[in-house]
């Protein structure tokens, strides 16, 4: 059914004016939170520093969102991502740094991973055992900005803000040196070895060293550096000398330096000055040789025991050293000559007046000396090791020789060495022994020995005969002689009658002698008594 439609109109609506809205306290807290969030967002955007990338060989110890970047143990950034490089040889660590670090991101700034390490006798990074690894940061001095860096494999020995100076040393080889090896000045550790590399030619090693302040002021243009690794043992006329810088240098190696004394004021060496690294202290402090003369020696004997670097000696003074050893075919004699090339330093021969014996870089005086009998000879430097050296000297009885020159190299005359002379003498003795008729001498000696044996047999028979016949008779004779001696002893004893008679006779003889002496005295006074008789006697 449908409801009937009312004919009355609907009542008119009650229209009222709309009330104005007022904020509620409930919305105050979200509004404050939104304002703070906006402020933090704007502050984060404004204070966010640069984003950099660092390439490392490995991501060991690194973790995105956790690994920090520290400068002087202060957090200055964080690793945000770690990816592989396009060539898959490195990993790329992306890091977000603080805004106030942007000015320190220059071309020579350095990054490295700090983790526990044992190197160069030192232990570092032990704190990371608990806190985890982090990336260390060192500020450089360049003016060129940079955002892409290559991380170091090992932590740097020195930081950019450490006072001191860095120098370069040229050496023949590295020896026992390593990064972190100490630098000594008067046996005080004043620096470290910070790195090493081969020079472009590959013939030398360039060692970078850092000397800390204030000791770096002692490094001048005349400073000498030498390898102080291990033990320097020297045996000379004064005895045995053992020299070392410290126990650490024996194990880890080290470098020492010293400046020769001089009356002139020495200027300090500028950073990155290049010096030569000597093998030992004696070589380092040796006066530099400015005049070098190349000479050649031609020997006709074995050079076993002679090595490159062996000294060339003149009566105890080292004039040079052997630089090359070779062999050459001699067409005239159809044999091989042993060639020894050496460097001679004429300035080492000086008189007491400091005048060089060989002056003005000419060979006139050297030629005159050589023509007077100067020869080279190989001599033994050590009987235990068999090492040889070249000795220059004047040998009596040796004919003077003229010097020859080939391609600008002066060739000095030589003579056989001591060992060669001994061998030649032994050969001459052996040749003379070969001429001796040993067979004839042996036969005669055999005959003589036979005759001697026969004589010994006859002597033995004679001795037996003497023992059997002569010995008993000799024994009886000795017994009779013994009895005779005993009788004579009894006769000569003081209390024997014969001795008493002898004493009485001696007394009578003494009295007779006195009477005769008195008579002779009287006759001497009265010789006439022999005719007239003694006065007083009756006629």
Residue of higher predicted confidence among 164 and 155: 164
90, pLDDT greater than 70: yes
Domain boundary among 284, 304, 332: 284
pLDDT surpassing 60 at residue 331: yes
Q: Are 183 and 166 in contact (CB under 8 A)?
A: no
Q: Assess whether 299 and 364 both reside in one domain.
A: yes
Taking the CB of residue 158, how many other CB atoms lie within 10 A of it?
A: 15
Q: Per-residue pLDDT averaged across 181-193, rounded?
A: 90
What is the number of domains present in the chain?
4
pLDDT for the residue numbered 92: 93
Residue 477 lies in a domain: no
Q: What is the pLDDT of residue 94?
A: 93
Question: Quick one: 219 and 128 in the same domain?
Answer: no
Q: What's the pLDDT score for residue 274? A: 92
Residues 303 and 408 in one domain: yes
Q: Which domain holds residue 87?
A: 36-150
Whether residue 247 is found in the same domain as residue 305:
no
Burial category of 504 from C-beta neighbours within 10 Å (exposed 0-12, middle 13-18, buried 19 and up): exposed
pLDDT at 352: 43
pLDDT category at 46 given cuts 50, 70, 90 is low
286 vs 108: CA distance, rounded Å: 39
Domain membership flag for residue 394: yes
Please check whether residue 21 lies inside any domain of the structure: no
- 491 belongs to a structural domain: no
Q: Do 272 and 146 fall into the same domain?
A: no
Helices of type H across 27-79: 28-47
pLDDT over 80 at 12, yes or no: no
pLDDT higher than threshold 70 for residue 508: yes
Q: What is the pLDDT of residue 243?
A: 60
Query: Parallel, antiparallel, or unpaired: how do β-strands 68-71 and 74-84 relate?
Result: antiparallel
pLDDT, position 93 = 93
Same domain, 248 and 312: no
Q: Is residue 19 part of a domain?
A: no
- Which of residues 150, 177, 195 is at a domain's end? 150
188 with 98, same domain?
A: no
For the chain, the average pLDDT equals 78
Residues 6+ apart with CB under 8 A from 361: 291
Residue 325 in domain: yes
Task: Give the pLDDT confidence score for residue 239 in this predicted structure.
Answer: 46
Same domain for 349 and 252?
A: no
* Domain annotation covers residue 235: yes
Residue 419: its pLDDT value, please? 61
What is the rounded average pLDDT of the residues 54-69? 90
Question: 150, 185, 209: which is the final residue of a domain?
Answer: 150
pLDDT digits (tens, 9 = 90+) for 199-250: 888 888 999 999 999 999 999 988 999 988 755 555 443 444 556 555 555 5
Looking at the chain, the whole-number percentage of residues with pLDDT higher than 90 is: 12
Q: How confident is the model at residue 185 (pLDDT cuts 50, 70, 90)?
A: very high
Confidence band, pLDDT 50/70/90 cuts, at residue 170: very high
pLDDT at 361: 44
pLDDT mean over 313-336: 83
- Report yes or no: 207 and 174 within 8 Å, Cβ to Cβ: yes
Per-residue pLDDT reduced to its tens digit, 248-304: 555 567 899 998 887 677 888 998 899 999 888 888 887 766 777 888 888 888 888
Do 175 and 271 belong together in one domain?
yes
Mark whether 311 and 399 lie in a shared domain. Answer: yes
Better-scored residue on pLDDT, 38 or 271: 271
Q: What would the mean pLDDT of 430-455 be, rounded to a whole number?
A: 80
275 in Cβ contact with 223 (< 8 Å): yes
Closest CA to 380 of 327, 320, 303, 300: 303
pLDDT at 415: 81
The pLDDT value given to residue 238: 43
On the question of pLDDT at 25 being above 70, the answer is no
Same domain (yes/no): 115, 213: no
Place of tokens 């002689």: 481
pLDDT at 247: 54
pLDDT of residue 467 exceeding 80? no
Is 1 a member of any domain? no
Instruction: Show the DSSP H helices in 243-292 as ranges.
Output: 247-252, 281-284
Evaluate whether 117 touches 155 at the Cβ level (below 8 Å).
yes
Kindly tell me if the per-residue pLDDT of 120 is higher than 60: no
Residue 476 pLDDT grade (very low, low, confident, very high; cuts 50, 70, 90) = confident
Q: Which residue has the higher pLDDT, 521 or 320?
A: 320
Cβ atoms of 289 and 347 within 8 Å: the answer is: yes
- For residues 324 and 405, membership in a common domain is answered with yes
- Residue 98 clears pLDDT 90, i.e. is over it: no
């Amino acid at each position: 059914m449908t409801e009937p439609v009312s004919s009355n109109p609907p009542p008119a609506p009650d229209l009222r004016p709309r009330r104005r809205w007022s904020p509620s306290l409930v919305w105050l807290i979200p509004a404050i939170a939104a304002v703070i969030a906006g402020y933090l967002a704007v502050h984060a955007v404004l204070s966010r520093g640069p984003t950099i990338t660092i390439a490392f060989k490995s991501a060991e110890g690194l973790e995105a969102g956790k690994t920090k970047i520290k400068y002087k143990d202060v957090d200055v950034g964080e690793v945000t991502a770690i990816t592989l490089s396009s060539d898959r040889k490195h990993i790329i660590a992306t890091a977000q740094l603080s805004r106030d670090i942007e000015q320190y991101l220059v071309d020579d700034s350095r990054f490295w991973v700090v983790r526990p390490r044992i190197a160069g006798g030192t232990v570092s990074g032990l704190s990371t055992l608990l806190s985890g690894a982090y990336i260390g940061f060192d500020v450089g001095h360049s003016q060129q900005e940079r955002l892409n860096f290559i991380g170091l494999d090992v932590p740097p020995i020195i930081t950019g803000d450490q006072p001191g100076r860095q120098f370069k040393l040229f050496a023949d080889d590295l020896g026992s040196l390593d990064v972190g090896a100490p630098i000594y000045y008067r046996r005080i550790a004043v620096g470290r070895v910070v790195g090493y590399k081969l020079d472009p030619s590959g013939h030398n090693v360039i060692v970078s060293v850092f000397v800390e302040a204030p000791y770096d002021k002692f490094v001048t243009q005349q400073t000498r550096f030498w390898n102080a690794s291990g033990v320097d043992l020297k045996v000379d006329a004064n005895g045995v000398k053992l020299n070392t810088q410290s126990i650490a240098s024996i194990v880890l190696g080290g470098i020492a330096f010293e400046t020769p004394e001089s009356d002139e004021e020495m200027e300090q060496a500028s950073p990155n000055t290049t010096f030569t690294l000597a093998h030992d202290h004696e070589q380092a402090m040796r006066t530099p040789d400015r005049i070098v003369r190349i000479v050649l020696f031609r020997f006709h004997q074995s050079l076993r025991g002679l090595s490159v670097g062996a000294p060339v000696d003149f009566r105890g003074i080292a004039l040079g050293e052997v630089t090359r050893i070779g062999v050459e075919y001699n067409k005239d004699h159809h044999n091989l000559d042993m060639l020894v090339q050496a460097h001679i330093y004429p300035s080492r021969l000086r008189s007491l007046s400091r005048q060089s014996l060989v002056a003005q870089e000419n060979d006139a005086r050297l030629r005159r000396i050589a023509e007077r009998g100067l020869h080279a000879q190989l001599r033994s430097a050590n009987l235990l090791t068999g090492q040889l050296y070249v000795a220059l000297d004047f040998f009596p009885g040796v004919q003077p020789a003229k010097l020859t020159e080939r391609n600008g190299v002066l060739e000095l005359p030589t003579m056989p060495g001591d060992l060669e002379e001994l061998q030649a003498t032994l050969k001459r003795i052996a040749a003379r022994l070969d001429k001796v008729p040993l067979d004839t001498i042996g036969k005669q000696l055999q005959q003589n020995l036979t005759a001697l044996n026969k004589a010994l047999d006859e002597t033995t028979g004679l001795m037996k005969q003497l023992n059997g016949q002569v010995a008993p008779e000799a024994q009886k004779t000795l017994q009779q002689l013994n009895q005779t001696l005993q009788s004579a002893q009894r006769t000569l004893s003081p209390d024997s009658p014969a001795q008493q008679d002898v004493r009485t006779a001696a007394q009578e003889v003494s009295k007779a002698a006195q009477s005769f002496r008195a008579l002779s005295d009287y006759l001497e006074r009265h010789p006439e008594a022999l005719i007239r008789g003694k006065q007083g006697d009756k006629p």
